[in-house]
Structure 1
């Protein structure tokens, strides 16, 4: 990869991983639109590590409290809001893991196209706007329950389809259920940690078993840039979310989706 491709893809991964606009689509599109060589497994691992570092670093206190409360609850058999949140995150992660194991090969073979990304970008963008426009905002993290968490978990499984956006679909589901923007976003971000860890781990196993040469300078640059851009993105998103809502992301998705359709059909 050339230096500008490394910088571009690392920044794209960091900036789009946690925004409701689909990081997978933005990583697939450059290779297809600009005829770039695929970035390869090693770089995929690098940018996943970078975004994991960013999300863990940003929510380090919350994560420490959740893990501690969960461990204490196992010992004392008493639930607390933080320990329940730990269980909700585990439960909501299961559907996406099962769907990934069952359908990853099919999705990789048949759904990684510009046309599919265009339609999912538009369709799920509309759902995001509808959930924010008409969804109530009277629930907080304390109101999560078995059914609502499972609903969000099943919606997260749809994010395996390129263009859907993992953060976008989970926030959409939470908003439709009546959770406020900040609660929906915070749960979505915390929910991303086990999946990013699992995806990065699987790619690392593939990388080790493939015996391919690794450009460690590219890897280091990818980790640093994706981590910094992701951290910056999380900070600004949570700071401005209640002010701007999801409408700007809906508009962006419409513009991107229709632009891609023009490329496909013209």
Structure 2
């Protein structure tokens, strides 16, 4: 991998990791469109350490409070009813599905799941799912502010309403992102919206939930660097680029969803997926473009 490739792929990782459009799919597609070799699941996982470092810094106050409360709850039973302590446990519980499935499906993640036809399918299908979830959230918000005409409509849930059941559902949604094209944030945010959470709450928990899974995955894949065409220098460079760009994207995205819907991302996903289907069908792109023979 050249330094120029790592620069572009680092930019793509940073731009797409937190948006509901799938960073792993975009890294795969960028390489395929440019005629480069597929950077692979290991490169993707390691560069995500950069974007998750941006999460750690952006949400540092929340994370520090949650970790502190969680450790205190181990010694003090009275702390176990504290919201932050409970949130710490729920992040752990929600991380179990992706941890178990990530190890179980490792060979598929690095092989068959990177087929461009599968990526096109997940882009379109999850785009539709996100669109439906966003519509439900918009109707719920409109009902809450309609002057009392819909008193039976429950207000949008916040993270204080999060329990073990919802935490596990969030975790299962996150695990779907092991397939490129699904999108970690897209799947977890959609799941949150379907469960009745506000856009802000769903996005915030999506970012918090990703921290242990992404950091563990990146550290697990460190041994893969140096094998094949991906080397340490370009990988570290791409990770640093992803961190800087990712931090800016988080700040923008959290402001965006406070007043806007996810429909621009829904439309983008569906159009990109259909374009990818057309290019593969026309023979312009091979379903396995860029994959190494080994």
Pick the TM interval, shorter chain: over 0.9
**Bigger helix fraction:** 1
User: How many residues end up aligned between the 2 structures?
Assistant: 264
C-alpha deviations, 1:82-138, integer Å up to 9, x for none? 011101110111011111111221233222111111110010011011011014461
State how far apart, in whole Å, the 2-side matches of 1:86 and 1:102 are.
Answer: 25
Q: What is the match of residue 161 of structure 1? A: 179
Q: Is 1:120 aligned with 2:138?
A: no
Structure 1 position 146, deviation (Å): 1.3
Match of 1:111, SS state, is: helix
1:178-257 to 2 correspondence within 5 Å?
178-207=196-225, 214-216=231-233, 218-257=234-273
**TM-score normalized by the length of structure 2:** 0.84
Q: What is the match of residue 22 of structure 1? A: 22
Structure 1 position 254, deviation (Å): 1.1
Please say if residues 41 and 206 of structure 1, whose CA atoms lie closer than 8 Å, have aligned partners that are also in contact.
Answer: no
1:38-77 to 2 correspondence within 5 Å?
38-39=38-39, 43-44=43-44, 47-77=47-77
Q: What is the match of residue 263 of structure 1? A: 279
State how far apart, in whole Å, the 2-side matches of 1:133 and 1:18 are.
Answer: 20
**TM-score normalized by the length of structure 1:** 0.93
Match of 1:221, SS state, is: helix
Q: What is the match of residue 9 of structure 2? A: 9
The structure with the larger Rg is 2
Please say if residues 12 and 23 of structure 2, whose CA atoms lie closer than 8 Å, have aligned partners that are also in contact.
Answer: yes
Please say if residues 225 and 232 of structure 2, whose CA atoms lie closer than 8 Å, have aligned partners that are also in contact.
Answer: no
Q: What is the match of residue 159 of structure 2? A: 141
Q: What is the match of residue 33 of structure 1? A: 33
Structure 1 position 214, deviation (Å): 4.0
Structure 1 position 38, deviation (Å): 3.5
Q: Give unmatched runs, 5+ long, in structure 2.
A: 141-154, 283-294
In structure 2, the CA distance between the partners of 1:43 and 1:93, relative to structure 1 (3 Å rule), is closer
Q: What is the match of residue 92 of structure 2? A: 90
Q: Give unmatched runs, 5+ long, in structure 1.
A: none
Instruction: Decide which moves more: 21-30 or 47-56.
Output: 47-56
State how far apart, in whole Å, the 1-side matches of 2:40 and 2:277 are.
Answer: 27
Match of 1:24, SS state, is: helix
Structure 1 position 261, deviation (Å): 0.9
C-alpha deviations, 1:13-57, integer Å up to 9, x for none? 111111100011011112223320233688546522311221111
In structure 2, the CA distance between the partners of 1:59 and 1:173, relative to structure 1 (3 Å rule), is same
Structure 1 position 220, deviation (Å): 4.2
Structure 1 position 3, deviation (Å): 3.5
Instruction: Decide which moves more: 242-251 or 182-191.
Output: 242-251
